[in-house]
Amino acid sequence: MKLSIVIPVYNEIHTIESSLTKVVQSLPGISKEIVLVDDGSTDGTREWLLQTFGQANSQRMKIELDSNQRLIVIECETHHPQSEVAPSGSLSVGVQVIFHKRNQGKGAALQTGFKASIGEVILIQDADLEYDPQDWKRMWRLIEEGWADVVYGSRFYGEPHRVLYFHHLLGNKVISNFINLLCNTTLTDIEVCTKMFRREVLDDIELTCNDFGFEVEFTVKVAKSRRRWRLYEAGISYYGRSYAEGKKINWTDGVKALWYAIRFWATN
């Protein structure tokens, strides 16, 4: 199976290179590609991506790490939907970079990335280094061995995490428990970024949210699907940022999440 790692990027100039390095190092031996979607960055991220990967939207490349663990582009080729990603066992990883002309929101960037991806399994990863790609192993194993169709990372299963904001924790718990009540599930961390799922799951649901409401929409629609997808959780570490370090989500996103939960539950 091939893994497509979809990374929405917005104003992450200080972390994008380090984040990509960690992604390339992750899951050695697994055939994978990276789909980067820049959502109208204005802090120099867009320029870094253009300098590193070139001008063409939807152009497919391969990258690897040199002896000093620095990213280098080793190949460029025209993107084709049936193109192969990096061979199994190689640290060379296929990369596709797509640019939004303006900021459209995380959900919109993810939808763009999903459409461009070619893997049988899809993973969502942020570009801000809050989540460690080394935690993907147990998530991948659950899907590869046939146990799960969808795997959520959970920051509440005993892995290391940075202590930050109580109101973020409380908001996440309220949203997660509310959706669990609506959908009869027992998920602990619905707002987590790191989600891995089979492509068939994506084909089964219609995604419309362009903002942070994506997390709620995806969860409600997967949980209520007639296909009865098998949902699992796996513990992951979390190195959250402060607002001074670039944290973007705020209390209004939490209020919207509750509204989205009711809306998508009532219409699906």
Closest CA to 98 of 50, 65, 62: 50
Distances from the Cα of 220 to the Cαs of 75, 100, 121, in angstroms?
Answer: 40, 27, 20
- In a 3-state reduction of DSSP, which class is residue 98? strand
Query: Could you please report the per-residue DSSP string of 27-61?
Result: STTS-EEEEEEE-S--SSHHHHHHHHH-S-TTEEE
Q: How many beta carbons lie within 10 A of that of residue 9, not counting itself?
A: 30
CATH code of the domain made up of 3-266:
3.90.550.10
Q: What SS3 class is residue 64?
A: strand
99 and 38 Cβ atoms separated by less than 8 Å: yes
Residues 36-51 have pLDDT tens digits of 999 999 999 999 999 9
In 89-204, beta strands by DSSP E: 93-99, 121-124, 150-154, 195-198
Cβ atoms of 59 and 53 closer than 8 Å:
yes
| Per-residue pLDDT reduced to its tens digit, 69-108 | 888 887 655 444 444 444 444 567 999 999 999 999 999 9
| pLDDT tens-digit readout, 175-220 | 999 999 999 999 999 999 999 999 999 999 999 999 989 999 999 9
| Spatial separation of the C-alpha atoms in residues 4 and 125, rounded to whole Å | 10
CA proximity to 128, closest of 39, 237, 245, 49: 245
User: Which H or E run includes 105?
Assistant: none
Q: Is 135 exposed, middle or buried (0-12, 13-18, 19+ CB in 10 A)?
A: middle
pLDDT of 76 reads 58
- For the ranges 21-30, 193-202, 223-232, the lowest mean pLDDT is seen at 21-30
The highest-confidence range among 6-20, 147-161, 243-257, by mean pLDDT, is 6-20
| pTM listed for this prediction | 0.87
Mean pLDDT of all residues in the chain? 87
Per-residue pLDDT, 168: 72
CA separation for the pair 123, 193 (Å, rounded): 10
